Structure 1
Amino acid sequence: MRLAEATVRFGDRAALDSVTLDVAEHEIVCVLGPSGSGKSTLLRVVAGLQELDAGQVLLGGRDQSGVPAHRRGVGLMFQDHQLFAHRDVGGNVAFGPRVRGAGRAERDARVAELLSLVGLPGAAHRAVASLSGGEQQRVALARALAPSPRLLLLDEPLGQLDRTLRERLVVELRDLFTALGTTVLAVTHDQGEAFALADRVVVMRDGRVAQSGTPLAVWQRPADEFVARFLGFGNIVPATVSGPWADTPWGKVPVPEGTAAGRRPLLVRPAGVRLVAPDAGLACVVTARTFRGTHVAVRLQPESGPELEAACGLRDAPEQGGRVGVTFEVTETVVLG
C-alpha cells in the first residue's frame, strides 16, 4: 500500500497535508496522534470512505481513484464492532465471502477456520447480543479477515475494552497477524497498544507525519519536542550543547558522544534521573509519588528549574516531602531536533 502526497481539506484546514506513506506486504503499521492529527482521515482515505483533494492511494501498485470501498479488497474493523445484530456469529463472519459469491460449504469452512483462529471455536450459532465486549471484538476481526483482504484496516480496534483485556488481545492480535502474514494499517490513540502491535509506528501532527520508525527507535529517539511530549515524556528543557555537556536550567547534563553543538531542547527520560544524597547532585524536594505497577513515578522540584520526574523501584522511592539529590544518566538523555 502506498499513499503518495495525499491531501484532504475541510474548508481551510488540511486534515491530510501531502502525506506520503508506504506499508510493505506483511507489515503491521500503527498510526498514532492526538485528536485532529489526521490519523482517522488517513485510514478513511485508504478504505475509500473519503475522497482525496490531491495525491494518490495505490494498492498493489494500482491507483484507486474512483474505486469504491467495496471493490478495494481491504478489510475494515472499527472500534464499535458494527456487527449485524440480526445475524448470529457465523452469519457475521460469512457476510464477506457470501457477498463475493462463495458457496455454502466454502463459507462454513471459512467461518469455522476463522472462529478457531480468533479463539471462538464452535461459536457460529451464538447470538451477537450474548457475547462479551472482547468476544464481539474477536468476531469483528474474524469478519474483517473472512474475505482474505490484501490489507486490513483497524480503527481504534481495542478502544472500548478494559485495559487488562486490551493488553491480552493486542499480543494475540500480533501473533495472529504474524501467523497469517496479514498486512495491517491501524490507527489508535493508545501508545502502549501501538508499540506492542506494530512493526512500525507513525506519529502524526496537524495532518503530517512527524516521525516514522520502529517502536524502539521512536521511543529511544523522538524526532522533536512534540513527539516526545506526545509519548508522555515531560523532562524537557531548553539546552545549549557544547562538547559532552549541555547547559540547562538543571545545570550541566551529559549528552551522548558526537552530539552536535548548539541550542536545542533536551529530554531526560525518567529512568535517567538518578536519585542520590541531597549534597551529591541537584538538590530537589519530593513533591509527589505515583504507583505505576512496575515502578514509582517520583515528582521532584529542584531549587531552580522546572519539575522533574524520576522512575524508581518500588522499594527505593523516597517519601513525599523528602530531600534528595539528582544526577543524570547520559544513556537516557536525548537532544531533540
Structure 2
Amino acid sequence: MRLEDATVSFGTRAALNSVDMAVAEHEIVCVLGPSGSGKSTLLRVVAGLQPLDTGRVLLAGHDQGGVPAHKRGIGLMFQDHQLFPQRDVGGNVAFGLRMHGMRRAEREARVRELLRLVGLPGAERRAVATLSGGEQQRVALARALAPRPRLLMLDEPLGQLDRSLRDRLVVELRDLFEELGTTVLAVTHDQGEAFALADRVVVMREGHVAQSGTPLEVWRRPVDEFVARFLGFDNVVEAEVSGETAVTVWGKIPVPPNSAQGARKLLVRPAGVRLVGADEGVVACTVASRTFRGSHVALRLQPAGGPSLEAACALKDAPEPGTGVGVLFSPDDVVVLD
C-alpha cells in the first residue's frame, strides 16, 4: 500500500496534510498518535470510506481512486468488534466468504481453520452473546482474515480489553500475522501495543508524519520534543550543546559523540538519571515521590532550581520521599533532539 500526497480537510482543519507513506508486503505497520492527529482518517482513506481531497491511494501499484471499499480487497477489524448478534460464531466468520460466493464445504473448512488459528477451535455454533471480550475480538479477527485480504487494517484492535488480556493477545496477533504472512496497517494510541506488534511505527501529529522507523529506532531516538513527550518521556529541557557536553538548568550533561550542536532540546531517559550521594552529583535533588511500576520504581526528583527529573531504579535501591540525593547522567540515555 502506498499513500501519495494524501490530503483530507474538514472545514479549515487538515486531518491529513500531504501524507506520503507506504506499507510493504508482509509488513506490520502501526500508526500512533494522540486524538486528532489524523490516524483514523488515514485508515478510512485507505479503506475507501473517506475520499481524498488530493493525492492517491495505491494498492499493489494500482490507483484506488473511484474503487469502492468492498472491492479493494481489504480486511477491517474495529475496536468494538461489530459482530452480527443474530449469527453464531461460524456465521460471523463465514460472512465475507458467503459474499464472495464460496461454496459451503469450502466455507466450513475455512471457518474451522481460522477458528483454530485464533484459538477458538470448535466454536462455530456458539452464540456471540456468550463470548468474552477477548473471544469476540478473536472472532472479529477471524472474520476479517477469512477472505484472505491483501491488506488487513486494525482500528484500535485491543482498545476495549483489559491490560493483561491485551498484553497476551498482542503477542498472539504478531505470531499469527507472521505465520500467515499478512500485511497489516493498524492504528492505536497505545505505545506498548504498537511497539510489541509492529515491524515499523509511524507517529502522527496534526495530520503529518512526525517520525517513522522501527520500534527500537523510534524509542531510542525520538526526532523531536513532541515525539519524546508522546512516548512518555518527561525529562526534556533546553540545552546549549558544545562538543560532547550540554549545558542545562540541571548542570552539565554528557551527550553522545557527533550530536547536533548549539541551542537544542535535550532528552534524558529516566534510566540515564543515576543516583549518587547528595554531595557527589552534578545536581542535588530531593526525592519528591516514588511510584512502583512493576519492574522498577519511578522517582520524581526535585532540584533546588529548574524542572523536576524522572529517574528509574530497582525497588531495593529506591530512596524514601524527602531523601536528598545527587544525580549523574549517562550519555547512553541522552538524546539531542532536532
The bucket for the TM-score relative to the shorter chain is over 0.9
Paired letter, 1:332:
D
Q: Name the CA distance, whole Å, in 1 between partners of 2:100 and 2:244.
A: 63
Q: Match for residue 196 of structure 2? A: 196
Letter in 1 for 2:203: V
CA distance in structure 2 between the partners assigned to 1:328 and 1:302 by the alignment = 14
Matched position secondary structure for 1:122: coil
What is the match of residue 257 of structure 1? 257
Rounded Cα–Cα distance in structure 2 between residues aligned with 1:49 and 1:310:
45
Structure 2 partner of 1:318:
319
CA contact (8 A) 2:239 2:246 kept: yes
Unaligned runs of 5+ in 1: none
Question: Counterpart of 2:187?
Answer: 187
Q: CA deviation at 1:303?
A: 1.2
SS in 1 for 2:316: coil
User: Which deviations, in whole Å up to 9, do the C-alpha atoms of 1:39-75 show, x marking residues without a partner?
Assistant: 0000000000000000000001100001110000000
Partner of 1:307: 308
Q: Is residue 254–residue 330 contact of structure 2 (8 Å, CA) maintained in 1?
A: yes
In the alignment, the residues of structure 2 paired with residue 260 and residue 151 of structure 1 have an alpha-carbon distance, to the nearest angstrom, of 39
Q: Partner amino acid for 2:289?
A: A
For residues 45-194 of structure 1, the aligned pairs below 5 Å read 45-194=45-194
Superposition TM-score, scaled by structure 1 size: 1.00
Which residue is equivalent to 1:15?
Answer: 15
SS at match of 1:278: coil
TM-score of the aligned structures, taking structure 2 as reference length: 0.99
The match for 1:238 is 238
Give deviations 1:221-243, integer Å, cap 9, x for gaps. 00100000000000000000001
Cα deviation digits, residues 268-309 of structure 1 (max 9, x gap): 000000000000011100000000010000000011111000
Inter-partner Cα distance in structure 2 for 1:266 and 1:162: 35
**Superposition pairs for residues 259-298 of structure 1, below 5 Å?**
259-281=259-281, 282-298=283-299
**What is the aligned-residue identity percentage?**
77
CA distance in 2, matches of 1:109, 1:314: 52
Q: Is the 8 A contact 2:18 2:55 kept in 1?
A: yes
Name 2:329's counterpart in structure 1.
Answer: 328
Aligned pair count reads 337
- Kept in 1, the 8 Å contact 2:260–2:336? The answer is no
Aligned-residue RMSD, C-alpha: 0.4
Name segments (4+ residues, structure 1) moved above 4 Å: none
Partner of 1:44: 44
